[in-house]
């Protein structure tokens, strides 16, 4: 890891306030990238709050929102992010075959049209840097306008997470090997 992650006892008051807020939130623990973001306390505060909204308060259940997160983690080859969110996707009920297809960059087969649409929008955002009109129209029809906005938010936020984790070389916990290596 490229930076020292501060233990709570070494944090300044602004950092400690954000750290404590994250523990009191829906996660119950500080998200890994926040520990790097604490070097910019205002950024850490806003990013962590946005992450909590996107993780827990979108119109999508975890089974669906984790698709966008996994596509993002795979796009960025974010080892730590993949490790963490694969587990959350499985816990949320996402088919392991879909997860494996995303990992090996195969187009998954979806039974749920919303899952397929989330995958297609996320892939288009990362690979095409936007969403073509036909895909946009279908996405609004299948996911709603709010859903499209929230998928964009998930992909954007988890891009920032992936960049943070990759830049500061966060390793997968417990010495495990990355599935993306």
Buried b (16+ CB within 10 A) or exposed e, 35-62: bbbbeebeebbebbeebbebbeebebeb
> For 64-68, what is the mean pLDDT?
98
In a domain, 138, yes or no: yes
Beta-carbon count within 10 A of 5 CB: 14
Model pLDDT, residue 176: 81
Is 129 found in the same domain as 68? yes
- Using the predicted structure, report yes or no on whether residue 31 has a pLDDT greater than 90: no
Q: Both 140 and 67 in a single domain?
A: yes
| Structural domains in the chain (count) | 2
Q: Enter the pTM of the model.
A: 0.94
Q: What is the CATH number of the domain that holds 163?
A: 1.20.1290.10
Q: Are 7 and 37 in contact (CB under 8 A)?
A: no
pLDDT tier at 173, thresholds 50, 70, 90: confident
- Look over the chain and give the mean of its residue pLDDT values, rounded to a whole number: 95
167, 97: one domain? yes
Verify that 92 and 124 share a domain, yes or no: yes
Same domain, 112 and 130: yes
Mean pLDDT throughout 9-28?
Answer: 92
Res. 175: pLDDT tops 80: no
Q: Kindly state whether residue 180 falls inside one of the protein's structural domains.
A: no
Residues 70 and 40 in one domain: no
Specify whether 28 is located in the same domain as 69. Answer: no
Asked if 64 and 151 count as a contact pair (C-beta separation under 8 A), the reply is no
Q: Are residues 122 and 93 in the same domain?
A: yes
Residue 9 has pLDDT above 80, yes or no: yes
Within this chain, do residues 78 and 147 fall inside the same structural domain, yes or no?
yes
Residue 177's pLDDT is 85
Higher pLDDT, 31 or 58: 58
29-56: average pLDDT: 94
Span 112-168, pLDDT tens digits? 999 999 999 999 999 999 999 999 999 999 999 999 999 999 999 999 999 999 999
Tell me: the pLDDT tens digits for 81-92? 999 999 999 999
Domain that holds residue 133: 62-175
Do 33 and 73 lie in a common domain?
A: no
Do residues 157 and 50 lie in contact, with contact meaning Cβ atoms separated by under 8 Å? yes
pLDDT band of residue 174 (cuts 50, 70, 90) is confident
């Amino acid at each position: 890891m490229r930076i020292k992650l501060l233990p709570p006892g070494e944090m300044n008051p602004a950092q400690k306030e954000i750290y404590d807020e994250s523990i009191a939130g829906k996660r119950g623990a500080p998200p890994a990238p926040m520990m790097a973001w604490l070097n910019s306390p205002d950024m850490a505060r806003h990013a962590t709050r946005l992450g909590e909204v996107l993780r827990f308060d979108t119109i999508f259940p975890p089974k669906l929102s984790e698709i966008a997160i996994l596509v993002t983690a795979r796009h960025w080859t974010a080892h730590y992010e993949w490790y963490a969110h694969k587990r959350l996707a499985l816990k949320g009920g996402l088919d392991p075959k879909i997860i494996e297809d995303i990992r090996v960059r195969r187009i998954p087969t979806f039974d749920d049209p919303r899952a397929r649409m989330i995958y297609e929008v996320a892939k288009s955002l990362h690979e095409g840097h936007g969403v073509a009109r036909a895909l946009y129209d279908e996405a609004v029809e299948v996911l709603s306008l709010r859903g499209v906005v929230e998928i964009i938010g998930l992909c954007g936020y988890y891009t920032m997470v992936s960049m943070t984790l990759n830049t500061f070389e966060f390793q997968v916990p417990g010495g495990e090997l990355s599935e993306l290596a």
